[in-house]
Structure 1
Amino acid sequence: MLPDQSYHIYNHANGSENIFREEENYRFFLHQYEKYLSAVVDTYAFCLMPNHFHLLVGVKEEAELARTFPKFETLEKLVSKQFSNFFSSYTQSFNKVYTRKGSLFIKNFKRKPILTECQWQDTFLYIHLNPIKHGFVKDLRNWKWSSFHGYESAKNPSKLERSYYLNYFDSWQHANYLMNIKKEAIMKEEME
């Protein structure tokens, strides 16, 4: 993963298991995410679903990474290592709590570089609409484990990099308008 580059990151539970069984799992995942990754990426969007998750992140600039981690071999390896440590930490804790063994996630997490403005917009919208796409809710306000709430209540403190999306949307109202259009398309597909 390259410095100063945005990525869509996602992964799924290994097999038919869930990676989140109860509310505390979601909270712990976000806590570990902050612990291991806040120094290497800015978070623009996230959605945690029972058996998978999606993230839209931007790897921090090279100078900032070098200042924070001066002894690391290469910055690309640093970011991948931090993600690996994060997944390992969550898995070890999950396995201990639920007396299970083995990998919790599919082996390699997926990371797609975001190369165009349109791709960034589509990924941002897609991530927020995931609970509707998978039939968990019909209204995004009813899905607790998403960055949607961080944008809806912009006055509340958040660990999201909330101003960055304005590079791609005129306002939150604009993003929300496009989300509603895509939501209608999803709902229409379900009816067919």
Structure 2
Amino acid sequence: MSTNNQSMQIIEPLEFGKYYHIYNRGINSENIFKENRNHEYFLTLYNKHINPIAETFAWCLLKNHFHLLVRIKTSEEILQNQQENGSKKIIAPYQSFGNLFNAYTKAINKGYNRHGALFERSFKRKLIDNEYYLRSVIKYIHYNPVNHGFCQHPIEYPWSSYLTCVSEKPTKLKREKVISIFENIEGLKISHSKNEQFDSLERFLNL
């Protein structure tokens, strides 16, 4: 199989109503989050561009890459949200993510006197089609900082959704659904207290 065919294999369309693991890294592994205010600004842009078209179940921002787990809303859900906000135009989910990454790239380029692309050409995405895979990806995303040596437990890392999962603060994260996937909050905490290898998942993701 050619390299081009392999590259095509990992590209999934973003279909309404389906779950996706979305991830990307800086071009040539460049850091895309250089300081805390970068994480904060990315999340601000995420709230603007992605929350209207997707529900978020997990996320993690590291120095040179990120992971997101989302459910793309149905076209009816998106249209209802748009109408409530005075707009009748539905932007394609892929374009919403493109708008997020383009806006963030422009801000980083302006703020750090750089030019050109910040991310690898096309963000990667994998369809999640069963609850076992959904559970595995949630834990994989939360454990990314541990596996990259930034901390020893997900609760120690400030730029992921794990802290939100174990808190009671208001959030747009689908926290109750995430907790239910692990049966209850104690089940989530116990699962996340056990480190594990994600080699097979990373091979599947082509990381």
State if a TM-score over 0.5 links the two structures. Answer: yes
* Alignment match, 1:133: 147
Cross-structure match for 1:36: 49
CA distance in 1, matches of 2:136, 2:155: 20
Whole-angstrom CA distance in 1 between matches of 2:15 and 2:180? 20
Q: 2:185 maps to which residue?
A: 172
Structure 2 residue 101 is matched with structure 1 residue 101: no
Which digits, 9 at most, give the CA deviation of each residue in 1:30-54, with x for residues without a partner?
0000011110001111010000000
1:70 maps to 88
1:190 is matched with none
> Which of 9, 12, 16 is the aligned partner of 1:3?
16
Mapping of residues 1-192 of structure 1, within 5 Å: 1-67=14-80, 68=82, 70-72=88-90, 78-153=92-167, 155-181=168-194, 183=195, 185-186=196-197
Q: How far 1:120 sits from its partner (Å)?
A: 0.3
Secondary structure of 2:92 counterpart: helix
Structure 2 residues not aligned, in runs of 5+: 1-13, 198-207
TM-score (norm 1): 0.88
User: How far apart in 1 are the matches of 2:89 and 2:36?
Assistant: 37
- Where does the alignment leave 5 or more consecutive residues of structure 1 unmatched? 187-192
TM norm structure 2: 0.82
Q: What SS class does the counterpart of residue 173 from structure 2 fall into?
A: coil
CA RMSD across the alignment? 1.4
Kindly, what percent of the aligned residue pairs are identical? 36
Task: Give the C-alpha shift of residue 176 in structure 1.
Answer: 2.0
What is the deviation of 1:70?
3.3
Count of aligned pairs: 179
* C-alpha displacement of 1:118: 0.7
